[in-house]
Structure 1
């Protein structure tokens, strides 16, 4: 997962802009009655997210006993996400947060939508809260669905609040076959907070990252083995290992926990691959 800068726009400001063009007097009145809850819910989210306590936020089927879930969904869909909608400026601002437009949840695919970290179907007061809206790829958005965490360990990582880029936690293991195969797994450091360690594993599982990374790695391995054989033929196992170590170092300089970093670190540390694979 890649860290993102936390949005600075307030949920109340976004909400007020989104409902600014509502023509129905009744609906506009009921939406305005939600303002206090919209603001307080976003504040609660901001206070609990850093401490892995989002699971303690109670789900609801309305906002301020005035607006239904479907009506709040419509505020997001029709008045924020839709092109030319009054709140579209905030939608686009959130979508521009990831570097190179890469999904922060999988670190692989291109962002194409906003994911509600806590689903709007169960937390309607957070439907347009920037803290609850994460730029994501379509696959991650669909994979996560509308599941609700019941404890800290079940909370997936949140790019605005969780920083897991300073230590290695995604690794790979080599399956010594011809051609070779790779499996990816989570291996937090020994000093990692136990709850965070469980969240790392849950995030990896929830978004199907093992299968995603294995798929991409399988495609790259064909070229890796071709180059590795040439290096081995020219310089032996010592030169091959040096080549793989340097490649891994370059990948880690970009992203410690990319599948590429895990792949090349695994290959460089595997004696069979460096010494026997190409004999």
Structure 2
């Protein structure tokens, strides 16, 4: 997962911009009565997301006893996410947060939608709260679906609040076969907080990152087959190991927990790959 700078737009300001063009007088009156609760809900989210206590936020089936879940869903879909909608400017700002447009949840696919970290079907007061909206790819958004955490350990990582880029926790193991296959797994440092360890594993499993990374690794292995064999034939195992070491170190500089970093580290450390694979 890649860290993102949190959006700084106020939830109430965003909400009020979204409902500005509502023509139905009764609906608009009821929506306007929700502003206070929406502000309070966003503040509670901000406080509890920082300490992995989102599971303590109560799920609801309405906002301020005035607006239904379906009505709040429409505020998001029709008045924020839709092109030319009054709240679209805030949608676009959040979409533009990830570097290179990559999904921060999987670090691979391109951002194409916003994911509600806490699902709007159960937390309607957070439907348009910027802090609850994570730029993501379609696959991560669909995979996560309406997952509701029941404990701190079940909370997936949040790019706005969790910084897990300073230590290595994504690793890979090589299966000695032809063609070579790579398995990815989570292995945080021993001094890592126990709750965070479980959240890292949860995040990895919820978004099916092992399968995604294994697929990319298989393609990468096919791409380097020719050059790796040539290096081995010309310089032996030591030269191949040097090549893989440089490749791993280069990728560490970009992202310690990318599948590329884990792949090349795994290959470099494999005596079988460096000494036997190309015999």
When normalised by structure 1's length, the TM-score is: 0.99
Once the two structures are TM-superposed, the CA of residue 244 in structure 1 deviates from its matched residue by: 0.2
1:54-203 matches, within 5 Å, as 54-203=54-203
* SS of aligned partner of 1:51: coil
Which residue number corresponds to residue 5 of structure 1?
5
CA distance in 1 between counterparts of 2:38 and 2:226 reads 57
Aligned residues: 279
1:114-137 deviations in whole A, cap 9, x for unaligned? 000000000000000000000000
* SS of aligned partner of 1:172: strand
CA distance in 2 between counterparts of 1:182 and 1:240 reads 18
Return 223-232 or 81-90, whichever deviates more.
Answer: 223-232
CA distance in 1 between counterparts of 2:116 and 2:236 reads 51
Once the two structures are TM-superposed, the CA of residue 220 in structure 1 deviates from its matched residue by: 1.0
Which residue number corresponds to residue 43 of structure 1?
43
* SS of aligned partner of 2:157: coil
Which residue number corresponds to residue 264 of structure 1?
264
Once the two structures are TM-superposed, the CA of residue 108 in structure 1 deviates from its matched residue by: 0.1
Once the two structures are TM-superposed, the CA of residue 278 in structure 1 deviates from its matched residue by: 1.3
CA distance in 2 between counterparts of 1:70 and 1:95 reads 24
CA distance in 2 between counterparts of 1:182 and 1:224 reads 14
CA distance in 1 between counterparts of 2:177 and 2:18 reads 56
* SS of aligned partner of 2:114: strand
CA distance in 1 between counterparts of 2:156 and 2:224 reads 33
Which residue number corresponds to residue 221 of structure 2?
221
CA distance in 2 between counterparts of 1:87 and 1:223 reads 44
Once the two structures are TM-superposed, the CA of residue 240 in structure 1 deviates from its matched residue by: 0.5
Once the two structures are TM-superposed, the CA of residue 223 in structure 1 deviates from its matched residue by: 1.9
- Runs of at least 5 residues in structure 2 that lack an aligned partner in the other structure: none
CA distance in 1 between counterparts of 2:51 and 2:198 reads 14
* SS of aligned partner of 1:232: helix
CA distance in 1 between counterparts of 2:276 and 2:84 reads 61
Query: Structure 1 residue 212 and structure 2 residue 209: aligned?
Result: no
Q: CA RMSD in A?
A: 0.5
1:4-27 deviations in whole A, cap 9, x for unaligned? 001100100000100011111101
* SS of aligned partner of 2:50: helix
Once the two structures are TM-superposed, the CA of residue 224 in structure 1 deviates from its matched residue by: 2.0
CA distance in 2 between counterparts of 1:108 and 1:183 reads 17
Which residue number corresponds to residue 255 of structure 1?
255
* SS of aligned partner of 1:171: strand
CA distance in 2 between counterparts of 1:74 and 1:115 reads 15
CA distance in 1 between counterparts of 2:226 and 2:10 reads 53
* SS of aligned partner of 1:163: coil
